[in-house]
Structure 1
Amino acid sequence: MDTRQDELRRDLDATLQARKELGKEYEDALVDSFMKRLDARLDARVDRSAAGRMDDYEPSSRDRDRGRPRTPGRAGNRLAVASLALGIPLTAIAGTPEGGGFAGLLVCWAGIVGVNFAAALGNRRDGRGRRPRSDWD
């Protein structure tokens, strides 16, 4: 198991132990604290991934003026995976009565489906290898 997963497991264990010691009164605060740490880790991971992508960015001669990366489609796949990974906590939040209940779940998953549909559509368009008919395309 990698060290980041070990750290996350330790944080979750510590949160669960604190909940046992403090009781249910502090459950919301503990969950919020854990989610903030998890969000910070996800943000850092996305930032590292984006920085790595920018280092690998080499536009082809045809796409240089439009700023498209040389290998299309991979960013869309990562976006789809990230949206599904974030779907778990979003589902938990949206499924609560305060989060909208069933209607909240529908809105949450409609957004996730929309993101994945847009990513798939973007991959399909980029993967065709279309050549512009003119400089205006």
Structure 2
Amino acid sequence: MRAVPDNPRDELRATVEARRDLGPEYENVLIESFLEKLDHTIETRVRAEVAAQHGHQEYAPPPGGAHPAPGRPSKQADPTIAIALGSLGIGVPLTAIAVTQAGPGGLFLAWTGIVLVNIAAALGRRRR
């Protein structure tokens, strides 16, 4: 059994390789598996970011990450860039999947969902 890659790019490469090995009849199962792992990765990163912003003890800093000096306020990260990069990261494979599986309608639906998530995030930040 193969080790599970930590990097979504490596995971996508492994999924494509598995598809080559297993054939097209397993394509839908492999796609669903990849998307679940990607969702989990994104959820983990979002939770870590939220925990970091709220100062919870659950958050473990990234390896090699420095803690702010005592007495100095930590600079809160702006989630705008993370959301934009996450949207692009999800958008690339989702575009390929949507066009392959559902054509132009699927492409429109996928990017409409991504845009709506970004709008909702922007409105949520505005309310704070």
SS in 1 for 2:6: helix
Larger Rg: 1
Identity %: 42
Aligned positions of 1:1-137 closer than 5 A: 4-5=6-7, 9=10, 11-55=11-55, 74-98=78-102, 101-116=103-118
Distance (Å, rounded) in 1 between the aligned partners of 2:95 and 2:35? 13
1:56-114 deviations in whole A, cap 9, x for unaligned?
Answer: 8xxxxxxxxxxxxxx7881233222222222223323332353xx21332233344345
Distance in 2 (alpha carbons) for counterparts of 1:83 and 1:75: 12
> Any unmatched runs of 5+ in structure 1?
57-70, 127-137
Matched residues in 2 for 1:40 and 1:96: separation? 23
The AA in structure 2 aligned to 1:74 is D
**Alignment: residue pair count:** 106
For the 8 Å contact 2:12–2:34, the answer to whether it is kept is yes
Structure 1 residues 120 and 34 mapped into 2: Cα distance closer, same or farther (>3 Å)? closer
RMSD: 3.6
Shift, 1:122, TM fit? 7.5
Higher relative contact order (CA 8 A, sep 6+): 1
* TM-score after normalising by structure 2: 0.56
* Helix, strand or coil at the partner of 1:4: coil
Gaps of 5+ in 2: 57-74
